[in-house]
Amino acid sequence: MAKRRSSTARKRAKKAAPSEKSRRQTKAAGPRATKASAKKAPSKKSAAKKSAPKNAAAKKIAPAKAAASRRARKPAFDARLDSANDPSWIAPVWDDDLLLGAHVSTAGGTHNAPPRARAIGATAMQIFTKMANRWAERACESDECHSFRAALGDTRVRATIAHDSYLINLASPDETLRRRSIESFVGELQRCAALGLDYLVSHPGNFIDDRASGIRRNAEGITEALARAPGQTILCMETTAGGGSSIGSSFEELAELIALIPEPYRSRMAVCVDTCHAYSAGYDLVNAYADVWAQFDDALGRERLAVLHLNDSRTPFASRRDRHELIGEGSLGERAFRHIMNDERLERVPKVLETPKGTDPTATDAKMLARLRSYRSA
């Protein structure tokens, strides 16, 4: 992939000459960046081979081997390969009013996220405020909040978003898990308030036993958490792909959930539409674009739309699966994103990427943002 090539190219030419720098910049963020690279990236297969056990006895432990090969397929993040840490990287600056960016890493602390957002020319930024796949809680102390806000002030980011932990299930019928989820969710809201983030995006829960009870438990959990964690952060329920017993794959179901939350808390509720999830859930953003938004308006009202996650999908329409793909390279394809990027009614809605980042997140995300902008008709 192109990002891989640019990182290896950078390693080859340790000190880039100015002409090389600007060429790379064009490659990363210019219109040509939309062309897929024909150059072969180092084979993923060989990486998988390396980490796979070699002896015959290991064949018996197939699940472990499968897990190892899954890990091998997903390259570990190596900060040295990220263009954000390359002193010769030129951050793109866009002369428009779009609120467009990506989910960026907070590795090393939340104050490291804003420079990463600046490196991709972001005007909107999403982060995790803690490890998303761990229960371990943490609070944002004032030192951290100061550093974060100062770093943010040094960017053009005007919309800040947190995504909550993947473990939280406020709809669970298991009271222990649900209690733990509520405590964790309160922590999410408190960190958002401390850092001064505009939005918290949250996946509705999984009902497990019965849908109606699950939605009710979900609403009660949200209500309790909002009551315990006052603040300005808007809570955005994200549309889901609808796999398993997940709540929120239809606009009507999100509306039902929000309606169960009493005022004044309901006023803090909004919706995040994820293009990959919506398409997988059966909303045809490619061929029935206007219809999809008409359905949204009927069920929820457009004023509830606060955030968009721009992701292409690795799986077909209505697959009910959640597998993100690079913009224009999945089943949604260029057409859906052309609709979105030229939709005046979505102009002021912050849009963030959650697309695969490869080995060089900064170069990849910068390329995706340039690609999205290239879809805008003049």
> CA-CA distance, 219 to 252, in Å (whole number)?
14
Nearer to Zn ion, 137 or 354 (CB): 354
H or E element: which one contains 235?
A: strand 234-238
Asked if residue 111 binds Zn ion (CB under 5 A), the reply is no
Nearer to Zn ion, 119 or 307 (CB): 307
Q: With CB under 5 A as the contact rule, which of the stretches 91-99, 108-116, 266-274, 367-375 interacts with Zn ion?
A: 266-274
> CA-CA distance, 326 to 334, in Å (whole number)?
10
C-alpha distances in Å from residue 259, one per residue of 230, 255, 262, 266: 19, 6, 7, 8
Residues within window 281-340 making contact with Zn ion, judged by CB under 5 A: 309, 322
C-alpha distances in Å from residue 292, one per residue of 260, 303, 309, 328: 24, 15, 16, 19
Quickly tell me which residue has 């405590």 as its tokens: 183
> CA-CA distance, 360 to 2, in Å (whole number)?
10
Asked if residue 274 binds Zn ion (CB under 5 A), the reply is yes
User: Minimum distance between the CB of residue 332 and Zn ion, rounded to whole angstroms?
Assistant: 13
274, 237 contact by CB (below 8 A): no
Nearer to Zn ion, 92 or 248 (CB): 248
Nearer to Zn ion, 6 or 315 (CB): 315
Nearer to Zn ion, 220 or 354 (CB): 354
| Closest of 242, 240, 244, 162 to residue 203, by C-alpha | 240
User: Minimum distance between the CB of residue 351 and Zn ion, rounded to whole angstroms?
Assistant: 11
Nearer to Zn ion, 229 or 236 (CB): 236
- Spatial neighbors of 370 by CB under 8 A, at least 6 apart, are 28, 29, 30, 31, 33, 34, 92
User: Minimum distance between the CB of residue 72 and Zn ion, rounded to whole angstroms?
Assistant: 22
Asked if residue 203 binds Zn ion (CB under 5 A), the reply is no
Q: With CB under 5 A as the contact rule, which of the stretches 4-12, 102-110, 187-195, 351-359 interacts with Zn ion?
A: 351-359
User: Minimum distance between the CB of residue 238 and Zn ion, rounded to whole angstroms?
Assistant: 5
Token couple for 105: 């890493």
User: Minimum distance between the CB of residue 19 and Zn ion, rounded to whole angstroms?
Assistant: 39
User: Minimum distance between the CB of residue 324 and Zn ion, rounded to whole angstroms?
Assistant: 6
- Which residue ranges make up the site for Zn ion (CB under 5 A)? 274, 309, 322, 354
